[in-house]
Chains A and B, each alone.
Chain A
Amino acid sequence: MDDKDFELMERYIYQVVRRLPKEQRDDVSMELRELIGDMAEEKESVREALVALGDPAEFAKKYAGESRYLIGPLYIDTYWNVLKIALTCTVIAIFSITLGQGIVERYDPGLVTDLGSIIGFVTYLFSTTLSNTMNSAIGIFGIVTIVFMIMEHYKVDLEEGKDKAWTVDDLPKKPSSEKDGVDERAIWTPERLAPVPGKKAMLPRGDSIADIVFSVIFGAILIFAPHILGVVWVIEDNVIGKGVMTIPIFNLDKWNLILPVFLISLLAGLTDAILRVIIGRYNLKVMVSSIVSGLIQIVCSVTLFKILPIWNPHFGNELRRFLDNEFGATEFANYFDPVWFSNVILTIIIIATMVEVGITAYRTLRYGLNEERSEDKVKA
Chain B
Amino acid sequence: MGTDKAIIDSLRLELRRGTLVLSVLSRTDEPKYGYALVQSLLEKGVPIDPNTLYPLLRRLETQGLLISEWETSGPKPRKYYRRTELGTEIYKELRNEWNQMAGAMELLMKEES
Contacts and interface: CB of A to CB of B under 8 A. Distances in A.
A34 B6 contact: no
Contact of B5 (A34, A54, A180): A180
Interface stretch (B23-31, B72-80, B83-91, B97-105): B72-80
A35 B58 CA distance: 14
A32 B58 CA distance: 12
**Residue from B1, B50, B59 with most neighbouring chain A CB atoms (10 Å):** B50
Contacts of A37: 76
A35 B35 contact: yes
Contacts, number: 48
The 8 closest A-B pairs by CB, nearest first: A180-B2, A38-B35, A62-B55, A63-B55, A59-B51, A53-B51, A181-B5, A34-B78
A58 B6 CA distance: 18
A35 B5 contact: no
Main secondary structure of the interface of B (DSSP, over half): helix
Interface residues on B, range: 20 to 34
A48 B46 CA distance: 22
Interface in B1-50: 1-2, 5-6, 9, 33-35, 50
Main secondary structure of the interface of A (DSSP, over half): helix
22 contacts: A30-B77, A31-B34, A31-B79, A32-B54, A33-B76, A34-B33, A34-B35, A34-B76, A34-B78, A35-B50, A38-B34, A52-B50, A53-B51, A58-B51, A59-B51, A62-B55, A63-B55, A63-B58, A65-B55, A65-B59, A180-B5, A181-B9
Interface string A333-352: 00000000000000000000
A317 to B, nearest CB: 74
B52 interface: yes
A247 interface: no
Nearest to B39: A42
B34 A181 contact: no
Contacts of B51: 53-54, 58-59, 62
Interface string A18-32: 000000000010111
Contacts of B78: 34
B76 to A, nearest CB: 6
